[in-house]
Chain A
Amino acid sequence: QSVLTQPPSVSGAPGQRVTISCTGSSSNFGAGNDVHWYQQLPGTAPKLLIHDNNHRPSGVPDRFSGSKSGTSASLAITGLQAEDEADYYCQSYDSSLSGYVFGTGTKVTVL
């Protein structure tokens, strides 16, 4: 079961900016654990999109950015493109569970 809460869906027109929230708790984000984001295109494995709150792996466009504050985090996509239509998951480490936790997932639709 998911410990991190995300909105089920967000949508936007091409070129717009959308944000995805990820709500955690005192045992994950609040304990100082970082947030990481994954993009999952239909029928494929998740791909690392943002790590350590706001770092993009090589090859990830700078249209994607992340942030974390307190027990919440967010992913922003600026200049939305058709190819960004996918599911997005946040992830962190939970100190109480001594394990990894994922978000509930958000489907991004490009109108």
Chain B
Amino acid sequence: QITLKESGPTLVKPTQTLTLTCTFSGFSLSTSGLGVGWIRQPPGKALEWLAIIYWNDDKRYSPSLKGRLTITKDTSKNQVVLTMTTMDPVDTATYYCAHRYCGGGSCSNYFDYWGQGTLVTVSS
């Protein structure tokens, strides 16, 4: 059974750096093809993909946020960490981590399991 859970601060001040941790179970990020991504959703708004890290440590970032984001993994701890610098009130959102589908010897670019999300508020 695959589960993911996000953790981190609920409140950060403008200009600070946000660090979020996704702790997962039911799979290993050392398995070929797998990936864990981060997606956020401002209150009342649409989903926005942020970043993804793959089993081979390949990383991809949203072009609109590249430069502010860093994604890393700790395979031994089953964790993926997202860092976002220079936080602003517009970054207030629920942040989700999600599992990229791989199965039956193939992978596809969608997320089949999601964490419950964590709401991060940016305010002084």
Residues of A whose CB lies within 8 Å of any CB of B are 1-2, 33-34, 36, 38, 45-48, 51-52, 57, 89, 91-93, 97-105
Contacts and interface: CB of A to CB of B under 8 A. Distances in A.
Tell me the dominant secondary structure on chain B's binding face.
Answer: strand
Given A34-B109, A45-B116, A51-B108, A89 B47 contact: yes
Contacts of A47: 114
Nearest to B108: A52
Given A89-B46, A99-B49, 18 more contacts: A34-B108, A38-B47, A45-B115, A45-B116, A46-B47, A47-B114, A51-B101, A52-B110, A89-B47, A91-B110, A92-B109, A93-B109, A98-B60, A100-B37, A102-B46, A102-B47, A102-B48, A102-B49
Interface range on chain B (Cβ under 8 Å from partner): 20 to 34
A105 B60 contact: no
Nearest to A6: B46
B47 A36 contact: no
A104 B64 CA distance: 16
Nearest to A93: B109
Nearest to B4: A45
Interface in B22-70: 37, 39, 45-49, 52, 60-64
A92 B7 CA distance: 27
Contacts of B39: 100, 102
